[in-house]
Amino acid sequence: MRTRVDIRPRRGSRTDMAEAEGGVGGGSGARPDMAVQRAELGPLLAMALMPGESWYLVDSRWFKQWKKYVGFDSWDMFGAGDLSLFPGPVDNSGLFGDPETQSLKEHLIDELDYVLVPAEAWNKLVMWYGCMDGQQPIVRKVVEYGLFVKHYKVEVYLLELKLCESSDPDNVISCHFSKADTVATIEKEMRKLFNIPTEKETRLWNRYMSNTYEQLCKLDSTVQDAGLYQGQMVLIEVKNEDGTWPGQPILAKGSGFVCNSYSCRDNASLSQPGLCGLSNLGNTCFMNSALQCLSNTPPLTDYFLEDKYEAEINQNNPLGMRGEIAEAYADLIKQMWSGRQSHVAPRMFKTQVGRFAPQFSGYQQQDSQELLAFLLDGLHEDLNRVKKKPYLELKDASGRPDSAVAKEAWENHRLRNDSIIVDIFHGLFKSTLVCPKCSKVSVTFDPFCYLTLPLPLRRDRLMEVTLVYADPQRRPVQYRVVVPMMGAISDLCESLSRLSGAPAENMVVTDVYNHRFHKIFHMDEGLNHIMPKDDIFVYEVCKPSVDSSEYITLSVYFREKTMRQSNNASGTVLFGQPLLISVPKHKLTVDHLYSVVLEQISRYVKLPLVEEYSATCTGKGTCNGSNGVVEGDIEEMEHQDGGEEVKDKLAEADACHSEGCMPVESARDLQPCKKQLFTFSLVNSSGTSEINSIVEGKILKLNAFSALAIDWDSDTRRLLFDEQEAQAFEKHGSMLQPQKKKAVVALRDCIELFTTMETLGEHDPWYCPNCKKHQQATKKFDLWSLPRILVVHLKRFSYSRYWRDKLDTVVEFPVRGLNMSEFVCDPRAGSYVYDLIAVSNHYGAMGVGHYTAYAKNKVNDKWYYFDDSSVSMASEDQIVTKAAYVLFYQRRSSEEHTAPSPPQEEYDGMDTN
């Protein structure tokens, strides 16, 4: 599970990027037509990853615009594309955390924040479109993961190691390495950094705690196999002239230089068994949380501490991991329950997990429940007492009693799966499907290892939006509105209208990013397209109905004209908040547009007095309303050096030379003066490239939401544009009101929702054996039998194409006396009463949060809070929070059996402890 990070500047930030014509690198090659671009890039984008290849990151926003421009998407059946969406030069600025160093932001997500393209595809895009001036390509290598199942992925984030000499540990140099690099590569780099001659013998140590070192003995090991993690310290030691090592005298005194899997600590500082923290190896809090929950599951921990696992390791199971996961887990549990350490570093355990489950091999944040599922399955297969699994043919219920079918299903399951994990964690579902056409009923019984319970979904959501009023003298106002969770843009407008008084039909909802409109929404679009962190601006567009004139709405971007000293090329920089203006079609002239825009910006652009500004204006011909040039002399506006010089000279000839220009508050008090403050350009929807020239004095033929840029020279912007007022906004009372307390859900509500009958979706039908076709059957889950340790996974994370969300609803669950008997449908089942023994917590947003655990120590029956290497006392009233993610319950001993035994009666066989 990757992380979702808001990569956009918030409202009011300055992220002025050099863009558009003349401000780019590359792009000198002839750009083929859209069909050729699609044909050439299509196969390249579908290429499989191969180890050692170079792939490039491209900002998803730029790439999506390119796809729309050339008609690459499947919905564009004619491949027509959209000429108005010319993407301009490849722009990766949204991926950089620091524009100066061009270091990547943390937690970027593949496909959501960036796309990966092979080298040949990147070269073609740069040849056709160029690349933003000064931006270096983001190139990464494909690396191989996994021991048995080979898994390839692009290593987007390199590993940072802190390097130093053992003789000077304060002189630390940070370097980045690939997980596929070898220890020999690190040694070579360190020799170069610290000027160590090649003839000198050296050895490397990694430090993973304050006084714990481990020698990196195998130079051919990869960074990944060596278990090195983000930010780890690596020391290089140089052999003395007399053949001794500097560290040897210290080693004799027990400094902590050791060569073992776990940490070496002062044996005198004994601690309570089980109260042992786990060091964070770099985004491994998810693993630590799951391990602490399992460590505090008494029957499983006792099994390992008593070495019962040794006789049951199954090294030949093709579904297992040769017993290596079980042995690594046993070693870790013994360390944690030795009472000799306050915390250990689970490095070798993580390395083993990464070898068999490549998704956990890196140092990205993962999901504690997903790791838990892998670990329980891995331990089960490594400890499966069945050496050769028999083939079993599934039988239909065929009207037989549920008890008989359930007994048969459980016995068949045990014939193939017999381990401590099955003994402790496995229960039995009853699944009922009913065909809506022929009423065929299908009943099956399936084993489960944990319950994944849905949370009741919220029916509405809060959204923060900023309303830009049609009245140019009013500052924008920020509102918090309540909208239906699965509503449409029209619902947002209606809700905002009730708070603001602005007519909903006059509203246009936009997503603003980097001083431009990233998206302009239609009224019927779903609100699920809007992410929680999107900057949503709603514009009130005036649509007068005095006459029957047809109005057209246009996008207007602010740009500053710049001159690059390096190559004397002109470019532009986007700034400010974009505008939406509504103009009658019959008045679409440059003169009228100028007056409309001047009116719209009058609150934050302080204009000179018209009398003094135009009193000395002279010149031949009539000044037009765009760029202060004589009509008929220059009609086109292009970023070409020669043309700019001519226009500048002509503009200077018409400029006001008055000394006493005074600012006024509003454009309403004056008429347009002879020298204009800005010029117009017709641009693409990103404002990065000019599409066409504008002809003065004629009716312009523009489409709805065509984009215009108003270009300012630097001096005019500095003197007249009030940046602070342009970014100013007010907060409506809805932003200041305390938010309603979130609804509290009981655990039983989640269980009832899980066991509620539902109709299968059209994309997930059931094949009816009677009808001989797929049908949208009704489906119902029931609980037939429950295990000794009941693991409950609260499904807090939801995913869709446009939406990734975490439900932070508080689920009230009992710490003592959870009675599950009423939910068990076996009429002859015993009592199922459980007590809580552990909780895996997740704090923060999806993918970028932090995992901890609460657990009850089996020695003293007290609760503790485990936060990576830290362990502290806890009380029962602290445990139920909105962060609770995975719950561990233990069945009360009065209902437990000491061990699972073959059933004597039908009913006994179905009580899985």
Letter string b/e over residues 200-231, b meaning 16 or more CB atoms within 10 A of that residue's CB: eebbbbbbbbeebbbebeeeeebbbbbbbbbe
Does 850 qualify as catalytic in the annotation? yes
Contact yes or no for 288/868 (Cβ under 8 A) = yes
| Bridge partners of residue 794, in order along the sequence | 453
**Tokens representing 75?**
């919905």
In whole angstroms, how far apart are CA 434 and each of 399, 409, 711, 767?
13, 20, 66, 11
* Six-digit token string for 656: 């006001």
Strand ranges across the sheet with 54-59: 114-118, 54-59, 139-145, 151-154
CB atoms within 10 A of CB 503: 12
- C-alpha distances in Å from residue 106, one per residue of 2, 7, 366, 599, 866: 11, 9, 14, 42, 25
Distance of CA 136 to the CA centre of its chain: 24
Distance CA 794, CA 369 (A): 10
Q: Which of 285, 435, 493, 750 is catalytic?
A: 285
- What's the token pair of residue 812? 């009230």
Exposure of 459 by Cβ count < 10 A (0-12 exposed, 13-18 middle, 19+ buried)?
A: exposed
Q: What tokens were used for 668?
A: 């309403």
CB distance 287 to 366 below 8 Å: yes
> What gap in Å lies between CA 846 and CA 797, rounded to an integer?
7
Q: Which of 4, 2, 12, 8 is nearest to 94 (CA)?
A: 8
Angle in degrees, CA 215, 218, 220, rounded to 5? 140
The neighbour count for residue 116, using CB atoms within 10 Å, is: 20
87 vs 70: CA distance, rounded Å: 10
DSSP tag of 892? -
- Which of the residues are catalytic? 285, 850
